[in-house]
């Protein structure tokens, strides 16, 4: 039975008369928890960090002794650019990558969150590709970034690039804590679908992190806002406008109990879109005045992108700003004035577009505007005065709360959730009830979707319904077994490949000859999947998995046995199961 969760539905092939049970759990879909599910895990985890993996900036926090600390990176900044770059000598992540972006546009990757979990032919992705200076290629229907590394082209999946950013956040936390970090809570936009959520978890695994929970960003921000609220039940709107995504959630908070009533959003709307409007305006103006076309000059466009973002930030506190760029194009300088009024004119339709999800959550939750106690603004783009003006105007002049840092609130909430899971003091009475943001259902004859679990249903939940097959003798069971077997082999190859590449783990502890043997076996298994995977049976996949295991098991066993002997009576070093 083939299961594929799309943005609005769960497609499932029908089998001979069966009883359908769909169980949503916080482990698999939203990563949020009810009271009985969020007790500290029995196995000691050490410190669980909270990571806000943002489109433009990322942030990491940790909860210790009842207090949350947002950590600073090696540049002394509390937020880190979600940038990855490759030079002739090294790989750069964060501030170092962003600082050289204009000079190295083809090999500097950003906005990777807009690629993760999407298909290559996604309309939004195709539009983004027109503005990316780096190359995005079709890799079996999924996007991949192709850059030059050591003189030859190399492809990276969105998960791999995201893993580099998560790895940077992991390093920041380890530097602060003084010990290795292996567990994390990672946030995603509330309107991310299952593919995007799973891809984010995969990125964590590549980075060497066990992602214990995937938490919705506005829900995490609500925790940050309401953690110290003790004055009784309050209904709050969390308006989360970041660099690349937008979410709105309506929650009820009552003495440590956080209940999400409704959520809505747009996974492709944020500060990057505002920047692009400014870039397009000035590029068009410069082209017309100088009779040139700078849109194909990646370095020139990179300089303009850098300065457009700076100008946007300046206009949050000033009415006007100058954009000055020396040696902008063909040795000519660039000098223009941008006013706040012009910036608002260029983006007013996008600003107003953010009010639609606000109206939707109020309608879904059957709550009146007048019943909202607090408006919580999250995300760097909520510093734009016009955005604040529009949301306050919509709520009849009610002032938005200024009580939390919009850049750090999501990481703060994720760190609190990490504290809950690791049993930190001060989290005993915290209860979080989230919802399923997208309707789930089953595809029936004719491609019609039968809804089973409507959006905004509190999870965990379940729904049972009986379906009959459209034709006799449908062989869906065999199809499901084949898919499960293929997934099992692919996951095993992927896991083994990452462990061999981990210089601090398996890859750095086995002998070179054993490492070469493993790499060759992995290469053969991958090649077999490429050549025969489309026609192979479940038995074929199982046979290949057993073949790979017969090579890997003796090598790993030898390593762990040696480690056990070296440590005498001490327990053998903990290791991941292959």
Catalytic residue set = 52, 113, 217, 240
Q: Whose CA is closest to 114, among 123, 124, 106?
A: 124
Side by side, the strands of the sheet bearing 91-93 are 91-93, 84-86, 108-109
Question: In the structure encoding, which two tokens stand for residue 351, read together?
Answer: 């600003």
The single residue listed with the structure tokens 């999250």 is 378
Q: How many CA atoms lie within 13 A of 321 on its CB side?
A: 18
- By the 10 Å C-beta count (0-12 exposed, 13-18 middle, 19+ buried), 495 is classed as middle
Question: What is the distance between the alpha carbons of residues 109 and 101, in angstroms, rounded to a whole number?
Answer: 9
Classify 570 as helix, strand or coil.
Answer: coil
Contact (Cβ atoms closer than 8 angstroms) between residue 373 and residue 367: no
Give the start-end residues of each E strand in 1-79.
3-5, 10-12, 18-24, 48-52, 57-64, 67-70
Question: What is the distance between the alpha carbons of residues 329 and 319, in angstroms, rounded to a whole number?
Answer: 28
Question: In the structure encoding, which two tokens stand for residue 345, read together?
Answer: 């004119």
Question: What is the distance between the alpha carbons of residues 61 and 151, in angstroms, rounded to a whole number?
Answer: 37
> Whats the size of the chain, residue-wise?
578
Question: What is the distance between the alpha carbons of residues 346 and 332, in angstroms, rounded to a whole number?
Answer: 26
Q: Helix crossing, 538-566 with 512-532: angle to 10°?
A: 170
4 alpha-carbon distance from chain centroid: 19
The H-or-E segment that residue 6 falls in is none
Question: What is the distance between the alpha carbons of residues 242 and 379, in angstroms, rounded to a whole number?
Answer: 4
Q: How many CA atoms lie within 13 A of 139 on its CB side?
A: 17
Q: Whose CA is closest to 61, among 293, 53, 482, 116?
A: 53
Q: φ and ψ at 502, to 5 degrees?
A: -80, 105
Rg (CA), the chain: 25
Question: What is the distance between the alpha carbons of residues 111 and 150, in angstroms, rounded to a whole number?
Answer: 23
Contact (Cβ atoms closer than 8 angstroms) between residue 58 and residue 165: yes
Q: How many CA atoms lie within 13 A of 225 on its CB side?
A: 33
Question: In the structure encoding, which two tokens stand for residue 225, read together?
Answer: 């806002």
Question: What is the distance between the alpha carbons of residues 262 and 249, in angstroms, rounded to a whole number?
Answer: 6
Question: What is the distance between the alpha carbons of residues 197 and 200, in angstroms, rounded to a whole number?
Answer: 5
430 alpha-carbon distance from chain centroid: 24
Question: In the structure encoding, which two tokens stand for residue 503, read together?
Answer: 């210089």
Q: Whose CA is closest to 114, among 175, 174, 55?
A: 55
């Amino acid at each position: 039975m083939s299961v594929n969760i799309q943005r609005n539905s769960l497609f499932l092939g029908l089998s001979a008369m069966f009883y359908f049970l769909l169980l949503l759990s916080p482990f698999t879909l939203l990563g949020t928890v009810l009271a009985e599910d969020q007790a500290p895990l029995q196995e000691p985890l050490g410190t669980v960090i909270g990571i806000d993996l943002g489109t433009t900036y990322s942030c990491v926090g940790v909860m210790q002794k009842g207090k949350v600390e947002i950590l600073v990176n090696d540049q002394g900044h509390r937020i880190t650019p979600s940038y990855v770059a490759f030079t002739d000598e090294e790989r750069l992540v964060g501030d170092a990558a962003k600082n050289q972006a204009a000079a190295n546009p083809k090999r500097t990757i950003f906005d990777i969150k807009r690629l993760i979990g999407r298909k290559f032919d996604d309309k939004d992705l195709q539009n983004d590709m027109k503005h990316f200076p780096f190359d995005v290629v079709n890799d079996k229907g999924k996007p991949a970034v192709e850059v030059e590394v050591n003189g030859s082209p190399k492809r990276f999946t969105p998960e791999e690039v995201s893993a580099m950013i998560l790895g940077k956040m992991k390093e920041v936390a380890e530097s602060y804590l003084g010990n290795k970090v292996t567990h994390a809570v990672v946030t995603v936009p509330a309107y991310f679908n299952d593919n995007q959520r799973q891809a984010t978890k995969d990125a964590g695994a590549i980075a060497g992190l066990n992602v214990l929970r995937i938490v919705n960003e506005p829900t995490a921000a609500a925790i940050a806002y309401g953690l110290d609220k003790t004055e009784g039940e309050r209904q709050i709107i969390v308006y989360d406008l970041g660099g690349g995504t937008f979410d709105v959630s309506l929650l009820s908070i009552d003495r440590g109990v956080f209940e999400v009533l409704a959520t809505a959003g747009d996974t492709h709307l944020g500060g990057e879109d505002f920047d692009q409007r400014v870039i397009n305006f000035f590029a068009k103006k410069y082209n017309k005045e100088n009779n040139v076309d700078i849109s194909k000059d990646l370095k020139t466009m990179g300089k303009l992108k850098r300065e457009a973002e700076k100008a946007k930030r300046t206009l949050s506190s000033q009415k006007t700003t100058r954009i000055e760029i020396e040696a902008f194009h063909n040795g000519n300088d660039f000098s223009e004035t941008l006013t706040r009024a012009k910036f608002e004119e260029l983006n007013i339709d996008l600003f107003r577009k953010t009010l639609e999800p606000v109206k939707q959550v109020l309608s879904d939750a059957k709550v009146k505007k007048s019943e909202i106690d607090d408006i919580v603004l999250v995300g760097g783009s909520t510093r734009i005065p016009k955005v604040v003006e529009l949301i306050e105007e919509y709520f009849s002049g009610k002032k938005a709360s200024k009580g939390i840092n919009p850049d750090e609130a999501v990481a703060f909430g994720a760190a609190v959730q990490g504290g809950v899971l690791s049993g930190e003091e001060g989290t005993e009475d915290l209860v979080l009830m989230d919802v399923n943001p997208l309707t789930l259902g089953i595809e029936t004859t004719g491609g019609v979707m039968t809804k089973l679990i409507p959006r905004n249903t509190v999870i965990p939940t379940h729904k049972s319904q009986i379906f009959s097959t459209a034709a006799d003798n449908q062989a869906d069971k065999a199809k499901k077994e084949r898919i499960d077997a293929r997934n099992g082999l692919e996951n095993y190859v992927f896991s083994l490949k990452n462990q061999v590449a981990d210089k601090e783990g398996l890859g750095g502890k086995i002998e070179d000859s054993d490492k070469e043997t493993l790499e060759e076996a992995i290469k053969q298994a991958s090649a077999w999947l490429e050549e025969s995977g489309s026609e192979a049976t479940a038995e074929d996949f199982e046979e290949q998995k057993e073949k790979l295991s017969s090579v890997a098991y003796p090598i790993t066993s030898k390593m762990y046995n040696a480690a056990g002997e070296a440590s005498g009576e001490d327990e053998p070093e903990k290791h991941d199961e292959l």
